[in-house]
Structure 1
Amino acid sequence: MAAHLDPRLLRGFVTVAEELHFTRAAVRLHVAQQALSRDVRRLERELGTELFVRTTRQVTLTPDGERLLPHARRVLHAQDELLAAFHQPRPLLVDLNSPGLGTPRRVLHEARELAPGHELMARYESGLTGAAGELLAGRLDASFGRFAGLDPALRAGLDHQPVRFEPMAVVLPEDHRLAAWESVPLAELAGESIYAGAGNPRTPEWTGLARLLFEGRDIEIAPPAPLAVGEEEFQRIMARTRNPILAVTEFPALPSTVVRPLVDPVPLSCVSLVWRRGLTHPAFDALRRAAALLSAEMQWLRRPAGSWTPAGDDVFMASHG
């Protein structure tokens, strides 16, 4: 007996068993009658038994044919369920880091326009390092962030596509001495303690960027604050500590705060679209295309004059996954 059975042979058998007529069964299956007869004979050879009694006037099932029929139907039903499950693919799960961040949200919106027949679902992992573990585990499909800031062991299983040199900013209490300024030179932050996610295990790539930016400028990284889950809790903790917050220019302002771009130089956050190596999904191409289209249209990959990025980040932003 064969170790494997072709489901096509079982489908032919079941159709003949239901019609008890080879011609009508062939019509249902849209195949030639001779081809259907060959398939049935092949199945009989592989099972080592006769399944039908054929005469010039009628076709009937043998006892072994009767015994096979319910098994064959279950196999075909399982195959139909499997094909149906993958005919409508699962949603593409896209991490936007945090609600309100402009770049990831705009790329996702554009991808939805490009692939209206597919579901692209937003997730919020708050940092690329946190998202990377979910990407590698297959629980998330794509994320955004500073690829150069990931641990090399994480990067080894991921690919990326540069999306934007995003200008950075500082979020200040509205009564801060610099709140009235239209932009804040980095030198004016000397002596300040700036919150940059220190101690948050999901965002070390952001804290690392802050450390490189503040080095030699007499700017401290604020000590770890309690890990806040949700916008309301984050606002409460930041209102209590009153530390300025390192952010990007499109960061949504919190109550009683202002967002001011940083200048002299203009620090840039190097944003990439990041995904698990080997990812295949019908909506993934739309996500990559959306990122490329917006990057070109908005000139996101053109560095402004007088800007700053870590040298290691530039290497990754010049490469493409």
Structure 2
Amino acid sequence: MVDPRLLRAFVVVAEELHFTRAAARLYVAQQALSRDVRRLERELGADLFARTTRQVTLTAEGERLLPYARRVLEAQDDLAAAFPRDRGGAAASARPLLVDLNSPGLVFGRILERARELAPDCELMARFESGLTWAAAEIDAGRLDVSFGRYAGLEPALRARLDHQPVRYEPMAVLLPLGHPLAELDAVPLDALAGESVYAGAGNHRTLEWTDLAHRLFAGRGIEVAPPAPLAVGKEEFGRIMAKNRNPVLVVVDFPAMPGAVLRPLTDPVPLSPVSLVWRKGLVHPGVDALRSAAAELAAAEGWLRRPEDGWVPATDALIMMSLD
């Protein structure tokens, strides 16, 4: 039983005879595409491509597989076209797609704008609900369609019911109250936070994946995760609670500006928040295709998936971001 995704990867590479162009067509990273092809070769016990530094060509076994793979994919596409429905049973392409952007002002809004240009006939409706932990549960229940966030921070059983596409390694930052000694710096070395209690959403059941990332980042560095604060809904209430507690806040570099606080990037190392586009497995909707295309286009143009040499990311996250197996 061969995964049709692997067959699709093989067919596109066979048509392009170029892994970079094939990856662009499939909206995946070239490394992930190469792994898919190698996995298919292992499962079939045959070399499908002859690779050199100059060219990619089909082997005799690859030539033999190609017509079979095309027939399988044609049948699968016909089936999807005949029953274009989501898991809840509604006609997926006939309804608006609900897209959670996490927070206004983040880069995910650019992906949504580009997707609307690519699929002008689709209604892509934005939502702003903080936290992939919450959003993923809503996606699984069929009340939301797409969100963004740290896919590796979800429970494995839930991940098995979702699909994702890596979008960005987002540099992290710290939000400091005015008058804090570190606010005078242009960038804050991570070790300079030793002895600080940094707020990272502790106690917020919607953002468990973010708090977990903070614990991993701060481990062994003498930095504490600040205790739970009252759950603030909206920018004004969040700003008021943070100003009252005066804890530094772990955020990303594109976090919206807050009155009474300054944003400073973190360095030495540069901590990275791994972000994926996440949707329900089996969901067929042209809006999802447009979002995937827009995300891949912007990630390639902006270099969002290039990790800096001094970048930090948990090992499990790095593996999940590099492979869709």
TM-score (norm 2): 0.71
Does residue 1:99 correspond to 2:114, yes or no?
A: no
Partner of 1:208: 212
Pick from 291, 309, 312: which aligns with 2:316? 312
Q: Which amino acid aligns with 1:175?
A: G
Task: Judge conservation of contact 1:171–1:253 (CA < 8 Å) in 2.
Answer: no
Q: Which amino acid aligns with 1:228?
A: A
Does residue 1:181 correspond to 2:189, yes or no?
A: no
CA distance in 2, matches of 1:131, 1:229: 16
Residues 87 and 111 of structure 1, relative CA distance in 2, 3 Å threshold = closer
Partner of 1:269: 273
CA distance in 2, matches of 1:292, 1:320: 15
Q: How many residues align?
A: 236
CA drift at 1:106? 1.3
CA distance in 2, matches of 1:267, 1:253: 20
Partner of 1:90: 95
Structure (1 or 2) with the larger CA radius of gyration: 1
Residues 199 and 86 of structure 1, relative CA distance in 2, 3 Å threshold = closer
CA distance in 2, matches of 1:225, 1:146: 22
Deviations 1:266-288 (A, max 9, x none): 00000000011001112110010
CA drift at 1:200? 0.4
Partner of 1:47: none
1:284 match: secondary structure: helix
Does residue 1:299 correspond to 2:303, yes or no?
A: yes
Deviations 1:11-33 (A, max 9, x none): xxxxxxxxxxxxxxxxxxxxxxx
CA drift at 1:87? 10
Q: Which amino acid aligns with 1:125?
A: E
Q: Which amino acid aligns with 2:234?
A: G
Cα RMSD after superposing both structures: 1.4
| Greater than 3 Å deviation, 4+ residue runs | 85-88
Unaligned runs of 5+ in 2: 1-89
Q: Which amino acid aligns with 2:171?
A: P
Residues 86 and 208 of structure 1, relative CA distance in 2, 3 Å threshold = closer
How many percent of aligned residue pairs carry the same amino acid? 68
1:178 match: secondary structure: helix
Partner of 2:69: none
Q: Which amino acid aligns with 1:95?
A: D
Task: Judge conservation of contact 1:136–1:276 (CA < 8 Å) in 2.
Answer: yes
Report matched runs for 1:34-183 at 5 Å: 89-102=94-107, 104-183=108-187
CA distance in 1, matches of 2:126, 2:324: 24
Deviations 1:140-180 (A, max 9, x none): 11100000011112111111100001100000012110111
